[in-house]
Amino acid sequence: MFGKRAGVLLAAALLASVLGACGDDDSGGGGSSGGGGRLVIGFAQVGAESGWRTANTKSIQDSAKAAGVELKFSDAQGKQENQIKAIRSFITQRVDVIAFSPVVESGWDTVLKEAKDAEIPVILTDRAIDSPDDSLYETFIGSDFVLEGQKAGEWLTQEYQGKTDPVNIVELQGTPGAAPANDRKAGFAEVIKKDPKFKVIASQTGQFTRTDGKQVMETFLQSHDDIDVLYAHNDDMGLGAIEAIEAAGKVPGKDIKIITVDAVKDGMTALSEGKINFIVECSPLLGPQLMDLAQKVADGQSVEKRVLTKETTFTPEQAKEVLPERKY
Ligand code: GYE
């Protein structure tokens, strides 16, 4: 059965796989790593909007280097259209694995279908998409943003336990349509709605940036003189808001209590100084796990559809303790 023709075909296949392993032209559909070549990952990053994002980019770049992975990195500058372009270019270049952190949740089906048709596996990192078709990606690694919002709400419930006066809350939301903005809002709302004394009197996007956080907090302060609490979806917006609060002659952390999410170094410093009262941690250090997952999917191994990041929360005392060793 195993005739001359089959023998020739086998030899040709072997030769092709050896050549494939040496060159960077991976025409085999995401399989060069399987042949022993260097794994090529195309990564489409959101941008550089926050301290979290900068730490996340560094983690991915450093761990790619450490794992001997060739990383094609693209910065979308906060625009979905740029991320879609980058993904299309990764498909054309026939990278082994595409990874990206979707700037918003919706609108990915078409481009991800193109990746699927090209047989290039996709990994979602950090943020989810809202497509019902979960065959469009292999796995999603990142935090549980709803849980983060709930943790913020639970701290507030504890803080005002036994009190009956109304508590006026202003909220700085992340980028509109982004998973962490939607989910942090929802998780927080779900917990505080159990007690009618908590009222969100204003809620607006601060785009996850310090500049917008400051500007929007200024407008909140102009239209409300009775703000008790600020809930910011990330440290950077909280830090911007602190500047606005101080400029308005109020004391952040005392006159207005502040809760943020991320726990990057600048946020943790403000927490240790009592300017922020509570931070829910969201780890940006996804690089090592991403490299591991990318290698596995490129090798055709099965991986968990959802990989959760381990996280905690911090009070000012805890921030003081961990700050000296904080890497980001
Ligand atoms: O919290 C924020 C960043 O997607 C978890 O994006 C990330 C969020 C992070 O800009 O600071």
The β-bridge relationship of strands 278-281 and 198-205 is unpaired
Q: Which pLDDT tens digit goes with each residue over 32-82? A: 444 568 999 999 999 999 999 999 999 999 999 999 999 999 999 999 999
| Ligand 1 atom with minimal separation from the 236 CA | 11
**pLDDT interval class at 99 (50, 70, 90):** very high
| Angle at alpha carbon of residue 104, lines to 43 and 215, rounded to 5° | 110
Cα(264) to centroid(ligand 1), Å: 11
Identity of the amino acid at 58: K
Per CATH, domain 145-282 is 3.40.50.2300: yes
The total of other beta-carbon atoms located within 10 Å of residue 19's CB is: 11
Cα(53) to centroid(ligand 1), Å: 6
Evaluate whether 262 touches 233 at the Cβ level (below 8 Å).
Answer: no
| Ligand 1 atom with minimal separation from the 284 CA | 5
Q: Which pLDDT tens digit goes with each residue over 143-200? A: 999 999 999 999 999 999 999 999 999 999 999 999 999 999 999 999 999 999 999 9
What is the rounded CA–CA span in Å between residue 294 and residue 301?
10
For the chain, what percentages of helix, strand and coil (3-state, to nearest 5) are there? 45, 20, 35
Residues with CB under 6 A from ligand 1: 49-50, 52-53, 126-127, 180, 208, 234, 236, 261-262, 282
Choices 3.40.50.2300, 3.10.20.10, 3.30.1330.40, 3.40.190.290: CATH for 34-143+284-310: 3.40.50.2300
Evaluate whether 192 touches 169 at the Cβ level (below 8 Å).
Answer: yes
| Ligand 1 atom with minimal separation from the 51 CA | 11
The β-bridge relationship of strands 198-205 and 167-173 is parallel
User: Where do the H-state alpha helices sit in the chain?
Assistant: 4-22, 51-67, 80-92, 109-117, 145-159, 179-192, 210-223, 235-247, 265-272, 287-298, 316-322
- Do domains 34-143+284-310 and 145-282 share one topology? The answer is yes
Return the best residue to mutate from 49, 173, 262, 308 for the ligand 1 pocket (most ligand atoms within 8 A of CB): 262
What is the rounded CA–CA span in Å between residue 138 and residue 88?
18
Q: Is 150 helix (H, G, I), strand (E, B) or coil?
A: helix
The domain segmentation of the chain, as residue ranges, is 34-143+284-310, 145-282
